[in-house]
Structure 1
Amino acid sequence: MKGFEKILRGILKYRLTDKALMEKRFQVIKNNPSPTSLFITCMDSRILTSRFATLDVGDSFILRNAGNFIPPAESVSFDSMTTEPAALELACLSNVRHVFVCGHSDCKAINMLYKLKDECHDHNHCGGPLQMWIKKYGTPSVQKFSEFVKDNENHIGPVPFNGRFSQLNFQAYIDPENKFSIEDKLSQLNSLQQLHHVAGFPFVQDKLLKGQMRIHAMWFDVYSGDVYLFSRNNKRFIEITEKSYKELMQECYPAD
């Protein structure tokens, strides 16, 4: 019961250290929480979005699944409904200004997707729930990845992304410094591909058309703790540092 004890002891520590401060925050926002962002992240236990983004009570919605996938709008029906589109709509109804799709290094779901890439091309629908989830919603990423990856190249790109909205029209160089594994390169590309899935829903499109929402691809390195944001101007993922902060902020206009 080692894991259970850790959780209970963690709650006891929370009661001593953070509970009083959180109660004050609960009183401030209890009748009118106004989250400004939605994070769509992987469910990996190493991804603590509220920690690395220093989020407070009421700041953000957080949606987690295996691989940070978003089902395309055209695949959604009553019989195939999943949590992700509903969470996106709730975020839009709550007037969030930013949606972040956050992938990460050594993602077990993406590692599996890479191993299953040939089955994705062959439309092989066999496997357990995890394999079916990964192949069904990871195939668009695999197809784009396979189209642009070259043998013996250190990086992938430029990869064109095209869509109805300006935020979806950009080129991407994936890991031009060749710092990460081939699976991690797929993870970064997948985070970008999911932006197009996010933007496929009418309630998101309405926000994008009115300039009321920005959609972003973020990426977390579980080994170094470094956080990256895709810069459309630089056509690559940029580490978020004191040096890059102002430039990345400027790209957020006009949603802020």
Structure 2
Amino acid sequence: MQKLIEGVHYFQNIGFRQQKELFERLAAGQSPEACFITCSDSRIDPTLITNAKPGQLFIVRNAGNVIPCYGTQNNGELAAVEFAVGVLGVKDIIVCGHTHCGAMKGVLHPESLSALPTLKSWLSHCDATAEIIRDHYGHLSGEELYTATAEENVLVQMEHLRTLPVIASRASRGLINLHGWMYKFETGEVFVYDSAIGQFEKIGEDNGLGIK
């Protein structure tokens, strides 16, 4: 905790002053460029990997970057997305998974979560992910299997997003874009899902996605 407290002092005395005008503008309201949905894993920092400043990302985080379907009780995730889209006018939503995801290991091995009943229940929103992996990825093992699970889970959660009425309505008119990303811890690479070829392609390459 001491390092965090020291960090607060540093921010108040140096960091805040360096961006004082920005924070004063943000006090009047927010207009984020995107809603960024990702895992609670401490190793992933949305603002760091996108080089975003305060006010640019509306961030939603939880174990496994999960979005329960519309109609689920106490759905804080969709409530946050609904606010981002319906009130703040966000037009781009990113679902970002990552390598070495402990939640995805729990999805594949629910028996390992017997002492974590709340987490086990939460990851039931990834049941479709588990079914896809069982049906199509029996040839993989180890980290390759976990990475494939994380990738498929990104796509499943994007489908869950489409059950939200405000997104379904805008998507039907081409007014909102859903993006699937994967972040690789060990290299810092980010991959974006290309629906045309059904694969994740690295951002930074000339891959026809318009992203270099």
User: Cα 1:88–1:210, aligned 2, differ >3 Å: closer, same or farther?
Assistant: same
Unaligned runs of 5+ in 2: none
CA deviations 1:60-105 (Å, max 9, x no partner) are 110000001110114x2xxx21211101110112110110011000
The aligned residue for residue 138 of structure 1 is 126
User: Cα 1:17–1:227, aligned 2, differ >3 Å: closer, same or farther?
Assistant: farther
User: Cα 1:15–1:5, aligned 2, differ >3 Å: closer, same or farther?
Assistant: same
CA deviations 1:168-187 (Å, max 9, x no partner) are xxxxxxxxxxx952111101
Give distance in 2, aligned partners of 1:146 and 1:51: 34
State the AA in 1 paired with 2:129.
S
The aligned residue for residue 52 of structure 1 is 49
Give distance in 2, aligned partners of 1:249 and 1:21: 34
Give distance in 2, aligned partners of 1:64 and 1:180: 23
Give distance in 2, aligned partners of 1:132 and 1:38: 25
The aligned residue for residue 70 of structure 1 is 67
* 2:82 is equivalent to residue 89 of structure 1: yes
Give distance in 2, aligned partners of 1:104 and 1:127: 22
Unaligned runs of 5+ in 1: 120-124, 155-178, 251-256
**Pairwise CA distance, 1:16:** 4.4
Let me know the Cα RMSD of the aligned residues: 2.2
State the AA in 2 paired with 1:206.
S
* 2:144 is equivalent to residue 181 of structure 1: yes
Give distance in 1, aligned partners of 2:22 and 2:190: 27
**Pairwise CA distance, 1:52:** 0.6
State the AA in 1 paired with 2:80.
A
The aligned residue for residue 170 of structure 2 is 207
**Pairwise CA distance, 1:43:** 0.1
The aligned residue for residue 136 of structure 2 is 148
TM-score with structure 2 setting the length = 0.89
Aligned 1:11-30 pairs, distance under 5 A: 11-30=8-27
Give distance in 2, aligned partners of 1:15 and 1:95: 31
The aligned residue for residue 174 of structure 1 is none
Task: Identify which of 109, 117, 121 aligns with 1:128.
Answer: 117
The aligned residue for residue 248 of structure 1 is 209
User: Cα 1:81–1:21, aligned 2, differ >3 Å: closer, same or farther?
Assistant: same
Runs of 4 or more, structure 1, over 3 Å off, are none
CA contact (8 A) 2:137 2:145 kept: no
**Pairwise CA distance, 1:141:** 0.8
Give distance in 2, aligned partners of 1:27 and 1:248: 36
Give distance in 1, aligned partners of 2:8 and 2:29: 26
CA deviations 1:203-245 (Å, max 9, x no partner) are 111111221110011111112211111112332111111x338
Give distance in 1, aligned partners of 2:194 and 2:98: 16
SS in 2 for 1:18: helix
CA contact (8 A) 2:97 2:181 kept: yes
State the AA in 1 paired with 2:84.
A
